[in-house]
Amino acid sequence: MKTSFAIAAIAVLLSCSVWAAPNVIKPHHVEALGSDMNCRTCHTTKGKFQRPDAQTCIDCHGGMADIPTQPNRWDKNPHNSHHYEDLLECTVCHSEHKASKPLCVDCHVVEFPNLK
């Protein structure tokens, strides 16, 4: 009885954390723009929330060619690689509601200390 209650409680906690995550906007966006950065700033299509396309990010940031990243000792430039140039969607690497993950690490040994 106690065990099944504990399992049910853990299941509720897990489902909460899954559902709560999309409510968190990253600090760099909240600190820079306050309430001007709200859900509909990025999720511009009415109704159901969908992954925003790159143009949403580009409208504020410019494209990857306009955003230089720091040189690194592996000589890997995530915004301008010979495989993809600047043609990838921003959200391939940058996430808003979870940790970002650079595609390049799937195949290369490289670290990006400033990935947010």
Residues making contact with ligand HEC (CB under 6 A): 22-23, 25, 28-29, 32-33, 37, 39, 41-43, 49-52, 54, 56-58, 60-61, 63-64, 67, 69-70, 72, 75-79, 81-84, 88, 90-98, 102-104, 106-108, 112-116
Nearest alpha-carbon partner for 96 in 67, 70, 57, 68: 57
Compute the least distance from the CB of residue 3 to ligand HEC, in Å.
33
Of 10 and 61, the one with the shorter C-beta distance to ligand HEC is: 61
In one-letter notation, the amino acid at residue 94 is H
Long-range contacts of 85-93, Cβ-Cβ distance < 8 Å, separation of 24 or more: 88/54, 88/64, 89/53, 89/54, 90/54, 90/57, 90/58, 90/64, 91/51, 91/52, 91/54, 91/57
Phi, psi dihedrals of residue 45, rounded to the nearest 5°: -75, 135
Of 8 and 24, the one with the shorter C-beta distance to ligand HEC is: 24
Of 5 and 60, the one with the shorter C-beta distance to ligand HEC is: 60
Compute the least distance from the CB of residue 8 to ligand HEC, in Å.
25
Of 14 and 61, the one with the shorter C-beta distance to ligand HEC is: 61
